[in-house]
A and B are shown apart, each in its own frame.
Chain A
Amino acid sequence: MDKTHATYEPRIVAFLCRWCSYAGADLAGVSRLTYPANIVPIRVNCSGRVDADMVLSALEKGADGVLIGGCHPGDCHYVTGNYKTRRRIVLIKQALSEVGIDPRRVHLEWISASEGIKFQSTMTSYTELIRELGPSPVRATKAPVHG
């Protein structure tokens, strides 16, 4: 592990759907289930709102990992949004591997409003995974985009 690795704290952004995963995160909070503080959540109405632009923009802005939380298949509040996400994430991961970025830096997880424990375990294991993967190669080469 090189020097940057030793002092490295993963930066992760999590896009959470309002109805399931965001509520699952609320439940984890109410239940006082602790997990690493590396993940900053951003609420979207549906995981189906998460597109390549958002994921790539996060990686470009220095995310070491991007997590997407949606409702379980069949449970989408908007009927089928999560199915669209599932297909889209496969393509995004494929595109990432083609440009040499580990596809595990983008991760989709189904977390329901009643799965506080799953939210905690996902946050914990995903932070650990991103810690092992080290800083994103995009971060190292990143030129400042905004002032």
Chain B
Amino acid sequence: MNHSEHSHGTACACEHHAAQKSPAALLHHALEHATHYLPAQGPIGVFVHHNTLHAFQHMPFEQAVVKAAEIFDAEPYLSEQTYQEHRQHGRILDQDIDAVLAREPDAVLLGGRLTRRELRRVLLIPGVRRVNHGNLTWQIEEGNFLREFRHDLPPTAARALASDQPDRLWPVCTSRYKVAPVAAPQQPSRPAETVQESHGIALDEVVNPVLVRLVSSYLDQGLAYWPMPDREIGFLGASRALFTSTWLSDWPVLLRGIRGEFERLADQSAQDIVLDLLAGFGVPEQDWEALIRQELLSLPGWAGMIHCLEVDPLLAPHERPSFSLMEFLAVRLILTSVVLKNVTGSITEWRSHPVGAMAYHDPLTHQARLFDACQLLGYHSELLAGLSETEFDELCHELELCNEWERRRLLHLAYELRHERRILIPLSRHCAMPAVVEKSDRLEAQVVFCIDEREESIRRALEEVEPLIETYGAAGFFGCAVDYTGLDDPHGVSLCPVVVKPAHQVAEIAVEEDHSLGHVRQKARRTWAKLTRTASIGSRTLVRGTVSTACLGFLSLFPMAFRILAPLRFARIMEKLNAFFLPEPRTELQFMRNDDESRHATTGLLSGFSIAEMADRVANMLHPMGMTKGHARLVVVLGHGSSSLNNPFVSAYCCGACGGRSGAPNARLFALMANKSEVRTLLRERGIMLPEDTWFIGGYHDTCSDDVELFDTDLMPSSHATDLVKLRGKLDEARARAAHERTRRFESFNNHRSVSAALRHVKERSVHLGEPRPEYGHCTNAVAVVGRRSTTQGLFLDRRAFLVSYDVKNDPEDRYLAAVLGAVIPVCGGINLEYYFSTVDNERYGCGTKLPHNISGLLGVMNGYQGDLRTGLPLQTVEIHEPVRILFVVETTPERVLAVIHANPLLKEFLENRWIRLAAIDPDHGGIQVYRGNGVWEELSGDEEPLPIAKSSIDYYRGKSEHLPLARISPQLLTSA
């Protein structure tokens, strides 16, 4: 499903045709609409970050989060209490709140005695107390609610109230407040809503377990030993075959008659069954969509999984029976109707019980809020009693407008505003200062990393270790979208962003001399696989299990104890054993175009690249980064990935630009291409002057263990050997420093320990069986800087910024800017928004704590033994995240960046609906303009945020674990001063 289709789903233009459509078409339409609300996460083996509220992206952010919160019963922002705590700790300043309020429309209230802004300001500073129906009675009877006024009142208010008493004010509030009429009861949208009230039985608790068992067995990718029978005839058919096979299926009390119902509907298609049951429920056509949506949202994880697999069956890693959401819905409705009949005796009766809004009707809270507001405003009881009817109503109305969600919205905007100023003001100060590193004749090396914000620390560390090394950031597939088959892989996988379909095939093979070794390895792997599989299945079955657990079980105590008590040592020994039993041959990539093979390929993929295609790819990467001349003798291209144990979410930590996999092969391929002399000849024609003595090396950076590996160094001319040794040493120093910086976030490591201890610690995390946070992933992402490294070089960005190398001087027509933004805004924006939503509501949008997770069907995780699939990010991944929308800082002029973004509908939607924030930094004088929407730019002014200067990164961060403000890392300046 492409973006525009999806995002406009809820604002579908076909609404007005509805009247003329057939019931079947209407049903499909309703189902299609309902699917927009399902999570879009596929099987967890490939975790792709995307905007959790993708379906709402056509709406402005602030409206979308509220709408979604209503539909999903979720939180739109952090809690009010959290924001107030941030305010107390100086993370939100009063001036931010004032600035936010100043942007909101104002109004004159109470005949000029009050303005909306003044009212809202006191509701935010010092803020209202947390009262609700539940705790208010206690507050009144046991607490000081009616005994004294608040202690944190503004002085003027306190003076005004000096002669008044709370128990005089309170009666005025309660007696004058007009209780809003109870909302009229509504027609229920689905049976579960009323049966709970009328019969005390939660339908979902009966239907869901049965459905979860069926669907998890049906979708299972090979976890169960005995696959579900009849999978080839589809979910409906397989379920029907099971339920009708034996009278036992009628045995559960509330499922009585399920067999008959399946038999009655035996020869109908899923669609007919759904139509039949919708008619049976007595639901009119216009309410179908609501019913279907609510039914599907009762198990959003499983419904969403089926939907994802239906859209792209290739997402399923091993088993691909037919996936159909309609069949899922049909089975769900059959189960619902049977249970409903057993509970209420009829399947239409539920509609005659309207659902009251009783639970939400809570006048006492409003009265208490008014009481609070009067204190904050200094309105004593006589003043309040003296207000005219209309004035009093106006005050109440205004208070209700500034309800909890509204206050949280305002506080969130202030929270983001302070973040923006903490980034932009120091950045502009930094740009105004002279460059940290002076230009030299020739660089010692150039290292290209992924744009990933986790690479920011190692880039800075490398530049600190050796100022003559320059680093770059490019999307981690390095322009090489390939279908790659590694030496050990049974088939190819796509190494490129998920929206791209690779057209070229590349394979890793053992080099000529090591062919026999390669065979030995594969043979050993086959034997190992056979043994392990027999053992793991065997340990669970009846007979084999008896033999293996009784005879050999005891022996597994020693590796188990060793592994858990000394994970790092165990990993080292395992590595040695692996090297002995599974010898690794030297390998090469098969990447040259083979026309013969391409013609005969059944996959439709071209095998390898032609010289011109290679030159395209190399040029398309070097051009935007401005790497057209002045290359160093060594250029290293580092892909990244992440290794960890016992972690179903490992793919979420890998390279997003490589589809949730490791980008090592792409880096290796890129270097091989760039080293080809034919390619270089073509590059010269395009204005990229690669010197004869420049050599490219591909490599891999593990963001969890901070290991760095370089490939194909044996192909390098011997003249570069010393350069490489030097560079290797510096990379090692840099990765150790990066690891040390990373450990400041980990509570279990004392950051005052040495750099090498930190490196050991992160390595241990990556091999520890019981480590729920091998790394923090993208947890700190907040900013993306698109521009030259010189803008940010020497700036401590705290691993919070995606750094995209883009040289505006090289791009007069904004061609590269369009390409770069077209890729990075959806990718970085998607990552950022996924983290945002998983943080503000970890139970609804995220997948809760990792600790009880249970892998189901190799597709995802669920809680317990028959729950819903959980989508989104786990608590352990987002616990230190600051949920702010990502701030893009683009180094170009406001007009140019806006033109580029507006030319692309997707980017325009991202920007104009405020799902991202944007600022432009002038490439010539460093002035910063902030985008405020609707074409309005605002010049950055003010200087309340300082730019601390430190001698080295470690001096700045050591021993601190919180988010740190930007700092300038400048060894020379301090020593000379």
| A, B: real partners | no
